Amino acid sequence: MSAFKTIPALIVMLIVTALSQAMAQTHPTLYIIGDSTVKNHTAGLQGWGDPIAALFNPAKITVENDALGGRSSRTFLTEGLWDKVAPRIKPGDFVLMQFGHNDGGSVTKGYRASLKGTGDETQDVVNEKSGKPETVHTYGWYLRKYVDDTKSKGATPIVISPIPRNMWNAENKVGRNSNDYGKWASEVAHNESALFIDLNEIVADKYDALGPDKVKAYFPGDHTHTNDAGATLNAESVADGIKTLKDCNLRDYLVAKWQ
């Protein structure tokens, strides 16, 4: 008789397991890739990719911050970081991508810089870190790679312009990257039919309203990396941008106060 009593329990367990697996398959993930302005675990500093998780309903979506400090659009690919994310992306997922702060400089001095612009130009170099030959592409080329790989998985790519640095002009207006990385990020999104959030403009408008003295409190060490308060402001600005995206259901996963 005891054997017969265990059969219903086994059936229930199998049903629960099957339902859990089905839910896991339909439960979307929001992947975030970028640099230290997105993920920063240095004491006293914070990137926006961690606090933004609190703005999403964890019962409906998983937020995974895969950004890493010091990486550029180039090195996130060449160091194999993207290869750890891309295979796990499934239909219905989302990928937020923000690069640019480490893409500047000379490609022949150092190992992080990408070529400027969005074209197909390349330059062959010897990587100063690995000592190996490498063909370097443009910032736009690397972004297209992330966008196209994301779309090939049936997921939604969302390109984001880099956050502003704490640098001001004579009119007490914070500097914007609308003529370089912000512009190039927008061009890639437009040309690849991807979504775009102009985070640089959204945050810069808030900084201008606050003024240099108040904004300075967000940057305890340099003009690029924020503390917890600055990261929270930037995360909320990303949420502001998500709410403006047409035909994108990512906003449905925000907690009620942000929808």
Which residue's entry shows tokens 């398959």?
A: 25
Residue among 124, 213, 222, 247 flagged as catalytic: 222
DSSP characters for 150-202? HHHTT-EEEEEPPPPPS-B-TTS-B---TTTHHHHHHHHHHHTT-EEE-HHHH
Of the residues 35, 36, 50, 73, only one is catalytic, namely 36
41 classed as catalytic: no
Element at 111 (helix H, strand E): none
Torsion-angle region of residue 214: left (phi > 0), alpha (psi -120 to 50) or beta?
A: alpha
CA 245 – CA 90 distance, rounded (Å): 21
User: How big is the CA angle at 244 (ends 239 and 245), to the nearest 5 degrees?
Assistant: 100
Using CA atoms, how far residue 187 sits from 111, 117, 120, 140, 192, in Å, is 25, 9, 14, 8, 8
Concerning whether 225 is annotated as a catalytic residue, the answer is yes
Which of these is catalytic: 50, 198, 225, 237? 225
3-class DSSP state of 148: helix
Nearest 5°: the CA angle 224, 94, 160 is: 30
CA distance 237 to 242: 9
Active site residues: 36, 222, 225
